[in-house]
A and B are shown apart, each in its own frame.
Chain A
Amino acid sequence: MDIVVCIKRVPATDTTIKIAADGKSIEPAGVSFELNAYDEFALEQALRIKEQLGSGTVTVVTIGSKDAQKELRDTLARGADKAVLLTTDQWVFDGASTAAALAAWIKSVPCNLVLCGRQAVDSDNNQLPANLAARLGFACVTEVAKLELADGTFTAERDIEGAREVVTCKTPAVISCQKGLNEPRYANLKGIMAAKKKPLEEAAASLPAPALEIVSLTLPPARAAGKILGTGVDAVPALIAALRDEAKVL
């Protein structure tokens, strides 16, 4: 099976966000970037499927700046066969355009399965996998927490409100991965050495005219400082009174 894994380089989750002078982007100074956490589950699942079948390829693709070479090289060290960087200097936030550019590229390579993280933790859109699938005409299951492949059919489980859905589909398919799907492996020294010889190709991303424009990026209003009502059990009546009479939530 030829598997494509879509990844994104994002600010680390412990980053304090500051807004840049243009009022439309984040201030990059002092921000450390990392592989989007959910994409680690997608890569791991791709490697496991290849191991299960004993054949196939795992190609990792991203749209981003040249800096994303670092994250791509990491995926090669963990076991991917090949990496492709579709370059752009813009912040990739416009889901429809990203999906269009990725679909155009995927159509140009052998691919039966696309694996993605459920969402990138910067733009928090959680829309790319389903959007991409519709453009490719592939089956799609999103936010998958358990996945099995037998006789060419995927059985996927996903959490919905108050229940769990069991969904089946065949290839070609797009599957987006939720935390809990697997335990991602990390690169070992052998993998890191091997990654240096693996192909990392670059091409310009063919992004269409934007579907969205950013008007502004702002910080949420700071919460007013709260009240410490006291210590220990003795403070419980004061809390009940505050919730009932002041906050009016009881």
Chain B
Amino acid sequence: MSNIVVIAEVRGGQLKRTSLEAVTAGLQLAQKSGGKVIAVACGAGLDAAAAELAKSGVHKVVAVDGPTFANYSGDAYARAIAEQVKAAAATAVLMVHTAMGKDLLPRVSALLEGSVVTDVVEVSCDGGTFGARKPVFAGKATMTVNAKKAPFCATLRPNNFAAAEGSGSAEVSKTAPPAGDLLSVVKEVIASSGGRTPLQEAKVVVSGGRGLKEAAHFKLVEDLVAAFGPGVAAVGASRAVVDAGWRPHREQVGQTGKVVSPPLYIAIGISGAIQHLAGMRTARTIVAINKDADAPIFKVADYGIVGDAFEIVPALTKAIAEIVAGK
């Protein structure tokens, strides 16, 4: 019997939806390991988030709740969670591969002398051995590993497991944050303007490249993103246009940017350098619009249109807007 801890991410009292994806993966593992799933959340004012977790299908919820945890502190959260992993006698710990997950889970793993594997797309438990599959070389290859040390700690790629939709009523236990200094403290969280959809959580990513000729022409990309309606689509960019200073690095898709796998990826004026393809080739459906019929992007695209983006994209935007309005 091996229990599984799922670390839930709560920001400003709100449970991040992707945490329910980690619950799904946790329940999958628990079924194989014969253990229970314990959700652990850190923060201040966790009642609503804990109640939501209690419904998700987990067996127990632990809320480490107190004013010193109002803002994220990687070191302090890690110590609190490591204590809960020990208390739960858990042999696997899961969290989503978000900015917080990447920062927090490796520390938990280190404090417990466990194994760690990140950005995982599949987890397994076979005869008591935990394992995972993850993209490496920005998705140019896939590595399958087995854990040799417990606890097995894994961060899960977002948008890859279905969100748990339980109707459970797990016990919620509340505990105060452990005493001790906070070595690093978040002083401020500055929301990006316009409530942008995070690139890796978007259902549709529309990326622009050098084919757009200048920074101002990204308006075409932004208009198409807007046509999908609020909270659906996000702007992406090729490395070339980020390096040219047209777009911020947080929008870069590819090997030195973000790896995305949305249901729909639209590449506009992107030729498809190997580093870019690595960052989007796992999208379910890929559309490419490019004036060069021989561009490598067409080799990975499901659907391509050859021609002038300045004519094609506005027509596409209009058609999408009509469909969205008709829904």
A contact set with B: CB distance below 8 Å: 11, 13-17, 19, 26, 37-38, 93-96, 99, 121-135, 138-143, 145, 155, 158-170, 173, 178-180, 209-220, 223-233, 235-237, 239-240, 242-244, 247, 249-250
Contact = CB atoms under 8 A, between A and B. Distances in A.
Interface string B299-319: 111111111100110011001
Given A96-B110, A169-B183, A220 B142 contact: yes
Interface stretch (B30-38, B171-179, B195-203): B195-203
B311 A233 contact: yes
B184 A140 contact: yes
Q: How large is the interface on B (under 10, 10 to 19, 20 to 34, 35 or more residues)?
A: 35 or more
Contacts of B13: none
Given A140-B107, A216-B144, A165 B281 contact: no
A211 B149 CA distance: 5
**Nearest 6 pairs of A and B residues by beta carbon:** A139-B183, A211-B115, A134-B110, A160-B99, A127-B106, A134-B107
B138 to A, nearest CB: 6
Given A214-B143, A219-B141, A231 B307 contact: yes
Nearest to B183: A139
A138 B75 CA distance: 9
Contact of B256 (A37, A229, A250): A37
A217 B142 CA distance: 6
Interface in B203-236: 204
A240 B323 contact: yes
Contact of B107 (A26, A38, A125, A130): A130
A249 B284 contact: yes
Nearest to A235: B305
Given A96-B114, A226-B301, A212 B285 contact: no
Given A14-B273, A217-B136, A239 B263 contact: no
B86 interface: no
B185 interface: yes
Contacts of B117: 95, 125, 212
A205 B106 CA distance: 21
23 contacts: A14-B274, A16-B274, A95-B118, A121-B137, A121-B255, A126-B119, A131-B110, A142-B74, A162-B195, A163-B190, A173-B184, A180-B249, A211-B116, A217-B141, A223-B302, A224-B302, A226-B302, A228-B306, A229-B304, A233-B312, A247-B303, A249-B264, A249-B285
B137 A17 contact: yes
Contact of B287 (A11, A127, A163, A239): A239
Contacts of B187: 155, 166-168
A143 B307 CA distance: 38
Interface in B243-257: 248-250, 252, 255-257
Q: Which of A143, A235, A240 has the most CB of B within 10 A?
A: A235
Contact of B145 (A15, A215, A224, A226): A215
Nearest to A103: B110
Given A168-B184, A233-B315, A243-B264, A212 B148 contact: yes
A178 B258 CA distance: 12
A165 B106 contact: no
A246 to B, nearest CB: 9
Interface string B23-52: 000000000000000000000000000000
B110 A135 contact: yes
Contact of B316 (A14, A96, A210, A236): A236
Given A13-B255, A141-B184, A124 B135 contact: yes
